[in-house]
Amino acid sequence: MKNIQVSSVFISFYIIVFVTLLFSRAEAQAPQSFIPAPTNIDQSSCPCVLPDNSVFFRVHAPYASHLQIDLAKKYDMEKDEEGYWTVQTEPVDPGFHYYFLIIDGVPVADPASRTFYGTGRMISGIEIPSGSERFFDIKENPHGTVRTHHYYSKVTESWRNLVVYTPPDYENNAEKEFPVVYLQHGGGEDETGWTNQGRVRHILDNLIAEGKAKPMIVVMADGHLPGLPGGYSTSAMENIKKEMTEVIVPFVDAKYRTLQNPRNRAISGLSMGGGQSFYIGLGNLDTFGSVGVFSSGIFGGIRSVPGRTFDAENEIPGLLTKASDFNQKLDVFYLSCGHSDMRIEHTIHAVDTMREHGLDVEFNSFDGDHDWNVWRESFRDFASRLFK
Amino acid sequence: MKNIQVSSVFISFYIIVFVTLLFSRAEAQAPQSFIPAPTNIDQSSCPCVLPDNSVFFRVHAPYASHLQIDLAKKYDMEKDEEGYWTVQTEPVDPGFHYYFLIIDGVPVADPASRTFYGTGRMISGIEIPSGSERFFDIKENPHGTVRTHHYYSKVTESWRNLVVYTPPDYENNAEKEFPVVYLQHGGGEDETGWTNQGRVRHILDNLIAEGKAKPMIVVMADGHLPGLPGGYSTSAMENIKKEMTEVIVPFVDAKYRTLQNPRNRAISGLSMGGGQSFYIGLGNLDTFGSVGVFSSGIFGGIRSVPGRTFDAENEIPGLLTKASDFNQKLDVFYLSCGHSDMRIEHTIHAVDTMREHGLDVEFNSFDGDHDWNVWRESFRDFASRLFK
């Protein structure tokens, strides 16, 4: 059995090299002007991006009867006589997108692309280049470091992962202490999302180099607690609040040179993680002095109850009636949403209501939907307002 | 299109939750006594491991016509009337194994499992528990940190990734300097292999806690140089030698508190990475004082030329004829191989030949084939001999 395993893995490797060669030969049939997506596995020439930002896919599957690409919408692929299936999508917005390859009805990760943890599983991602250097691209600035830790959680009674970004000068000055922003992913994602999909390390390296953000530590935790209720329910919010305030913050403050006061501690997140930040942050203003809520569904159909109206005062007692108390304790209370996100109306309504009651709310919106392009923009915007 | 994307991703998430519920209901039909594999995505109950270490797989694919699992060998799955395909494998050795799900002839990553970079792509991995705590399991010891960096390579003229483990007390003593072991992955893998598949952080945390290894830094680089010749060719070895000695070692020495002399610098690797370590290490004894070569093909059919005999003196001039010079400079020269690996005979022959010429060679072999279980054992063994 063992020898078969060896040969299996190594033969697979050589088959891949061989198929890659085949691909390069077959490339003559592919669109003339294209670039391989940056998210491709090293040897893959497909998927490739055409000048109009449509994407060309090719998959070898001579024995399958129906192949599709699900990238924003489903595209049927067409098979040639050599068993290669191809399709060219409509133009796709620059930036990061999840996608599936669907083989005879089964959605899987495309072997040609990097995988990312999203929608509760490993899923393909594609980065559509914008044609010019962006704020989330790696540049020749001083670079921070991304570290991974395991910590034991008394909430889940298990070992859990934590991802931490430290700014470029964290290592250079052994005495200096830094502010910290806690940054939560969305539903179905995990603690790797903000690094892999969100490119938070490049965003901060660039902001810091340009003098647009204070050097800060970013802590990215897993917002799903296995074995415990998830989503937006009250018990889910109580559990993640306990995990954050009683386990993660003390772990980080013990492990890193942090400034340990609310003026130097922020919490933020996207979608479900935005909801977590709203409840954990506004409910613990002696711990967190700034709160960022990106693209969260809590402002309409809160806690997964469709049609239920967001009642800020009910969710966080005093938020409307004692707004000045909150203003005094909050440095930055920030909301954002994508222009095309179905959450935008509810979010703007919540911002208006809170402002009418005298609460200081900062708000911004960006081109895009419920997607990582809006979240990269949101974090850039939020981070540049923090710790000033 | 955007709205479709949102719904697509979120509907997918809910579909997954729904399918998971279906799975749990269908579990009644699954083997009675099983545990989900530790490599499963959170909500997956399959694949699951039975008491005899056979593995039960279940995949929902009502429209596919042929499903297989490739785990050491290919197993045909059988479909029930609800469209669930199942199979139970033969018993599998405890430890880590790559595997594929094959849908109508297309090998893909199983959506139910974590993916790993292996065989030149993202591939499923399964960890078969051994039933007792092992040296590569996380324990309640002080834990080191794994960091990722980007560095610019003048060899490939591109940004590249580097993974670095620092031992538990690296942070506690801002003055202390540490020895470094460079640790290379195998062909078709990348710089993440030793952390994700190899569990090097737990292995070292445990060894250090037990006093069996010196606290050391581990540097894991990507041994594939995109756009340049790969494998075992002379030019590939020259390129990776240049990358290692002129780019990576200086980057690490500038970034970390390292002991910068050959007595405190080792290089090692598995398979292709073992070959790299042999050439880079023995060819640069003013840089590296210890060399570890795990399961490498170089000792037979060297440099991908089948049947070509390994000629140590030709590969590293003086290695046999001036063995005492090498002995003087080398602290540890270590080879290892799996008992069932087809490379074992050539490796033992090479060890015998080198020893006959007076070269000090340390050798060990382990149960297993050309697989991560042997490489975890090899690194544990090698690390515990270093820097003494």
Residue A18 lies in a domain: no
pLDDT digits (tens, 9 = 90+) for A155-197: 999 999 999 999 999 988 888 999 999 999 999 999 999 999 9
Q: What is the average per-residue pLDDT within A318-335?
A: 97
- Give the mean model confidence (pLDDT) for residues B323-332: 98
Q: Decide which of A322 and B11 is more confident.
A: A322
Provide CB contacts within 8 A for A212, sequence distance 6+.
A384
Partners of A55 in beta bridges: A49
Confidence of residue B8 (pLDDT cuts 50, 70, 90): very low
Is A236 in the same domain as A262? yes
Write the pLDDT tens digit of every residue in A259-281: 999 999 999 999 999 999 999 99
pLDDT digits (tens, 9 = 90+) for A119-144: 889 999 999 998 899 999 999 999 99
Measured between beta carbons, which residues in chain A are less than 8 angstroms from residue B104?
61, 63-65, 103-104
Please check whether residue B101 lies inside any domain of the structure.
yes
Do residues A182 and A155 both lie within one domain?
A: yes
- Does residue B9 have a pLDDT over 60? no
Q: What is the dihedral of CA A194, A198, A204, A207, to 10 degrees?
A: -150
How many domains would you assign to chain A?
2
Q: A151 and A112 in one domain? A: no
- Is B228 contained in some domain? yes
Quote the pLDDT of residue A9. Answer: 38
Strand partners, B362: B334
Residue A138 within any structural domain of the chain? no
pLDDT band at B309 (very low <50, low <70, confident <90, very high): confident
CATH code of residue A218: 3.40.50.1820
Chain A contact for B105 (CB, 8 A cutoff): yes
| Helix/strand/coil for A342 | coil
Q: Judge contact between A334 and A379, C-beta under 8 A.
A: no
CB pairs under 8 A between A and B: 208
Q: Identify which of B100, B147, B187 has the shortest CB distance to residue A145.
A: B147
- How many helices (DSSP H) and strands (DSSP E) are in chain B? 10, 19
pLDDT bracket for residue B23 (50, 70, 90): very low
* Coil, helix or strand at residue B141: coil
The reply to whether A8 falls in a domain is no
Q: Is residue A88 located within the same domain as residue A237?
A: no
Selected for mutation to probe chain A from B24, B74, B122 (highest A CB count within 10 Å) is B122
d(CA A153, CA A140): 38
CB A270 within 8 A of CB A187: no
Q: Which of A19-23, A32-36, A332-336, B174-178 has the lowest mean pLDDT?
A: A19-23
Residue of B356, B346, B209 lying closest to B365 (CA atoms)? B346
Among A107, A143, A340, the residue with its CB nearest the CB of B3 is A340
d(CA B297, CA B275): 7
pTM reported for the whole predicted model? 0.91
Portion of chain B with pLDDT greater than 70, in percent: 90
Instruction: Please answer yes or no on whether A70 and B8 come within 8 Å at the CB atom.
Output: yes
- What is the bridge-based pairing of β-strands A67-71 and A95-103? antiparallel
Checking if the pLDDT of A221 tops 70, the result is yes
B120 & B180 share domain: no
B68: left (phi over 0), alpha (psi -120 to 50) or beta: beta
Same domain? For B122 and B162 the reply is no
| Per-residue CA distances from B243 to A76, A78, B156, B238, B287 (Å) | 44, 43, 8, 9, 14
Q: Which of B108, B152, B157, B192 to mutate to test the interface with A (most CBs of A within 10 A)?
A: B108
Q: Does residue A250 share a domain with residue A341?
A: yes
Averaged pLDDT for residues B336-343: 96
Determine the pLDDT at residue A45. 86
Rounded Cα–Cα distance for residues A217 and A133 (Å): 25
What pLDDT, in 10s, does the model give residues A47-103?
Answer: 999 999 999 999 999 999 999 999 989 999 999 999 999 999 999 999 999 999 999
Task: Assign residue A70 the CATH number of its domain.
Answer: 2.60.40.10
Chain A contact set for B146 (CB, 8 A): 147-148
Do β-strands A290-294 and A265-270 pair in parallel, antiparallel, or remain unpaired? parallel
Cβ-defined contact of A104 to B65 (cutoff 8 Å)? yes
Point out which residues pair with B73 in neighbouring strands: B71
On whether any CB of chain B is under 8 Å from the CB of A186, the answer is: no
Better-predicted residue by pLDDT, B258 or B305: B258
Length of chain A: 388
Q: Which residue of chain A has the CA closest to B91?
A: A1
pLDDT of B19 higher than 60: no
Task: Please state, as a whole number, how many other Cβ atoms lie within 10 Å of the Cβ of residue A227.
Answer: 10
Domain boundary among A128, A162, A184: A128
CB B108 to CB A101 under 8 A? yes
Residue of chain A nearest B115, judged by CA positions: A122
Q: Which of B42, B73, B111 sits opposite A1 (nearest CB)?
A: B73
More confident residue, B87 or B121: B87
Going from the C-alpha of B337 to that of each of A107, B201, B225, B299, B363, the distances in angstroms are 39, 22, 26, 11, 9
Residue A73 belongs to a domain: yes
Q: Are A1 and B72 inside 8 Å of each other by CB?
A: yes
Handedness of CA B291, B295, B300, B301 (dihedral sign): negative
Q: Is the pLDDT of residue A27 over 70?
A: no
Using the Cβ of B146 and the Cβ atoms of chain A, whether some distance falls under 8 Å is answered with yes
Please say whether the beta carbons of A97 and A125 come within 8 A.
Answer: yes
Same domain? For B108 and B237 the reply is no
> Across chain B, what does the average pLDDT equal?
90
Confidence check: pLDDT of A16 > 50: no
SS3 string, A223-252, reads: CCCCCCCCCCCHHHHHHHHHHHHHHHHHHH
If you average pLDDT over residues B112-120, what whole number do you get? 93
Contact between chains at A174 and B171 (C-beta distance less than 8 A)? no
Residue B15 has a pLDDT of 36
* Cβ count within 10 A of residue B384: 15
- What does the alpha-carbon distance between residue A191 and residue A183 come to, in Å, rounded to a whole number? 9
- Determine the residue of chain B that is closest to A295 in CA distance: B6
Distance, C-alpha A226 to centroid of its chain: 20
What band does B28 get if pLDDT is binned at 50, 70 and 90?
A: very low
Neighbours of A59 (CB within 10 A): 23
Q: What is the pLDDT of residue B7?
A: 38
Structure tokens at A5: 């395993």
Among A98, A128, A158, the domain boundary falls at: A128
**Do residue B124 and residue B181 come from a single domain?**
no
**Residue with the two structure tokens 């290919």:** B74
Asked if A115 and A160 sit in the same domain, the reply is no
Closest Cα to residue B10, out of A92, A118, A335?
A118
Does A159 share its domain with A102? no
**Structural tokens at position A275:** 């909801």
ipTM confidence score: 0.89
CA distances to A109, A117, A258, B105 from A125, rounded to whole Å, are: 9, 9, 34, 23
Residues A172 and A198 reside in one and the same domain = yes
Widest distance between CA atoms in chain A: 72
A33: pLDDT confidence band, cut at 50, 70 and 90?
confident
pLDDT for residue A6 is more than 70? no
Bridge partners of A166?
A145
Instruction: Please write the tens of the pLDDT for every residue from B43-79.
Output: 688 999 999 999 999 999 999 999 999 998 999 999 9
Tell me the angle at which helices A200-209 and A372-383 cross, rounded to the nearest 10 degrees.
Answer: 30
Radius of gyration over every alpha carbon of chain B, rounded to an integer in angstroms: 23
Domain finish residue from A80, A96, A128: A128
d(CA B285, CA B266): 10
Statement: residue B304 has pLDDT above 80: no
Number of helices and strands in chain A (H, E): 10, 19
Question: If you average pLDDT over residues B315-342, what whole number do you get?
Answer: 97
Residue B134 falls within a domain, yes or no? no
Q: What is the pLDDT of residue B226?
A: 87
Task: Taking residues A211-215, report their average pLDDT.
Answer: 98
Other CB atoms within a 10 A radius of the CB of residue A381 amount to: 16
pLDDT at B233: 81
| Residue A104 maps to a domain | yes
Which range of residues forms the domain containing residue B346? 145-385
B19–A contact, CB cutoff 8 A: no
